[in-house]
């Protein structure tokens, strides 16, 4: 904890801010963070208000709840309505609106068995305690979550718990970054890469940012000095006309990532196309269970399909998640859409960019 506190030191932050201003030397820096924890850290620490005016902060598709597609929520609701099924989920998915504004919270109020768990292993224990029901764990999240879900599936096999399965809707960060850079409207000049996801991936999966797009990518931690150092490294690359993927969070992230976690993930899952809220289908950006694990795959076992659904009326989450629009520019922001009455998922999750803007910005 003492080490973490050192990265909040005001003098260190002041020196880094001066270094950033020197590196910018009047240039712009339009950077995107791709991690909900960064979104909150930048607001909570007050950093956003301290950044030079030429720095534009964009929040990308790094909040797992926010990128869960309407069609995926429709599939959850379908499962929740089936006899003999218990849905287990992380709590922040409960209020995410799907078609017609309906959420799992509504389903729960109407008698569906939806249980909040704090880890996939908790979900497995729910299955062990309810052998007469089929227990489905809603597998959302990125490369950080997928290895623990893979380990849980292997444990289910070991413990011979046969009434457990996972609806895998996990998403992969690098293909989404490529899609964002292919969008001419967002003009991203650098990425603040996600610290947590990078503990698993390491640096190599992001190499294409510099190689194919000449865009710097810096893996950053979550304390103010970590974020400022990452911004300095981006601005210095832009000043020097270079682009590289670098690790500014070595106390947590190894350049090679975590090969054991990746091996677990690869043993159980394989890449597949995935739907992202407001962005649409991105090739090879999701994870599905390998055929060997069909007995633990809710898609196959319960014949789950993702229906065509219209987007939430008026919600601009897609533009927010792509960096095309700041949350306050959505006509519903702070009026019809607030954390108490969320219209879209970016206002539901504590890590959603609309919720962060609402909580920490002056309105
Ligand atoms: Fe969607 Fe609400 Fe954000 Fe608008 S303010 S983009 S409706 S979540």
Atom of ligand 1 nearest to the CA of 347: 8
> Tens digit of pLDDT for each residue in 311-327?
778 889 889 998 888 89
Poorest-confidence range of 6-10, 12-16, 110-114, 302-306? 6-10
Q: Rounded to whole angstroms, how far apart are CA atoms 219 and 95?
A: 31
Neighbours of 211 (CB within 10 A): 12
Taking residues 118-125, report their average pLDDT: 97
pLDDT score for 314: 85
Distance 231 CA to ligand 1 centre (A): 27
Which of 58, 73, 279, 316 gets mutated to test ligand 1 (max ligand atoms within 8 A of its CB)? 316
Residue nearest to ligand 1 atom 8, measured at CA: 344
Q: Rounded to whole angstroms, how far apart are CA atoms 189 and 54?
A: 12
Q: ipTM above 0.95?
A: yes
Residues in the chain: 363
Distance 81 CA to ligand 1 centre (A): 27
pLDDT score for 362: 59
Atom of ligand 1 nearest to the CA of 331: 4
Q: Rounded to whole angstroms, how far apart are CA atoms 199 and 203?
A: 9
pLDDT score for 184: 78
pLDDT score for 14: 95
- Mean residue pLDDT of the chain comes to 93
Residue 214: strand, helix, or coil: coil
Distance 327 CA to ligand 1 centre (A): 7
Distance 296 CA to ligand 1 centre (A): 35
In the DSSP assignment, the letter for residue 129 is: H
Q: Enumerate residues lining ligand 1, CB below 6 A.
A: 315-317, 320, 327, 330, 332-333, 337, 343-344, 346-347, 354
pLDDT score for 262: 98
The DSSP line for 279-323 is: TEEEEEEEEEE-GGGGGGBHHHHTT------PPPTT--HHHHHTT
pLDDT score for 251: 94
Atom of ligand 1 nearest to the CA of 325: 6
> Tens digit of pLDDT for each residue in 198-257?
999 999 999 999 999 999 999 999 999 999 999 999 999 999 999 999 999 999 999 999
**Those residues with Cβ within 8 angstroms of residue 95's Cβ, 6 or more apart along the chain or in another chain:** 103, 104, 105, 342, 348
Distance 119 CA to ligand 1 centre (A): 28
Residue 97 banded pLDDT, cuts 50, 70, 90 = confident
Residue nearest to ligand 1 atom 7, measured at CA: 315
Poorest-confidence range of 112-126, 127-141, 346-360? 346-360
Taking residues 87-108, report their average pLDDT: 91
Distance 319 CA to ligand 1 centre (A): 10
Residue 62 banded pLDDT, cuts 50, 70, 90 = confident
Residue 145 banded pLDDT, cuts 50, 70, 90 = very high
Distance 343 CA to ligand 1 centre (A): 6
pTM for this model (two decimals): 0.93
Atom of ligand 1 nearest to the CA of 348: 8
Domains of the chain: 66-172+257-302 (3.40.50.11740)
Distance 158 CA to ligand 1 centre (A): 43
Taking residues 48-66, report their average pLDDT: 91
Residue nearest to ligand 1 atom 5, measured at CA: 333
For the cut 70, the answer to whether the pLDDT of residue 259 exceeds it is yes
Poorest-confidence range of 78-92, 139-153, 169-183, 310-324? 310-324
Residue 73 banded pLDDT, cuts 50, 70, 90 = very high
pLDDT score for 304: 96
């Amino acid at each position: 904890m003492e080490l973490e506190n050192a990265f909040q030191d005001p003098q260190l932050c002041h020196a880094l801010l001066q270094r950033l201003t020197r590196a910018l030397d009047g240039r712009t820096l339009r950077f995107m963070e791709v991690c909900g924890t960064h979104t909150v850290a930048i607001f909570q620490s007050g950093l956003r208000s301290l950044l030079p005016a030429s720095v534009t902060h964009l929040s990308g598709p790094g909040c797992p709840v926010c990128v869960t597609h309407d069609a995926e929520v429709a599939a959850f609701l379908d499962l929740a309505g089936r006899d003999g099924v218990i849905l287990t989920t992380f709590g922040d998915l409960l209020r995410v609106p799907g078609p017609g504004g309906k959420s799992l919270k509504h389903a729960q109020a109407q008698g569906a068995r939806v249980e909040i768990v704090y880890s996939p292993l908790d979900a497995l224990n729910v299955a062990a305690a309810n052998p007469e029901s089929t227990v489905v764990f809603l597998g959302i999240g990125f490369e950080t979550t997928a290895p623990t879900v893979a380990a849980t599936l292997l444990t289910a096999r070991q413990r011979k718990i046969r009434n457990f399965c996972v609806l895998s809707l996990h998403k992969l960060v690098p293909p989404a970054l490529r899609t964002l850079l292919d969008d001419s409207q967002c003009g991203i000049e650098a990425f603040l890469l996600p610290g947590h996801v990078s503990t698993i991936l390491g640096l190599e999966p992001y190499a294409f940012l510099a190689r194919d797009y000449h865009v710097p990518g810096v893996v950053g931690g979550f304390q103010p000095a970590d974020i400022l150092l990452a911004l300095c490294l981006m601005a210095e690359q832009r000043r020097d006309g270079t682009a590289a993927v670098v690790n500014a969070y070595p106390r947590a992230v190894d350049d090679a990532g975590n090969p054991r976690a990746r091996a677990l993930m690869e043993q159980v899952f394989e890449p597949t196309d995935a739907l992202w809220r407001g962005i649409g289908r991105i090739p090879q950006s999701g994870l599905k269970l390998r055929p060997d694990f069909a007995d633990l795959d809710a898609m196959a076992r319960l014949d789950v399909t993702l229906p065509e659904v219209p987007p939430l009326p008026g919600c601009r989450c897609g533009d927010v998640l792509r960096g095309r629009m700041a949350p306050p520019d959505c006509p519903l922001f702070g009026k019809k859409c607030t954390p108490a009455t969320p219209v879209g998922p970016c206002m539901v999750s504590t890590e959603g960019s609309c919720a962060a803007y609402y909580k920490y910005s002056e309105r």
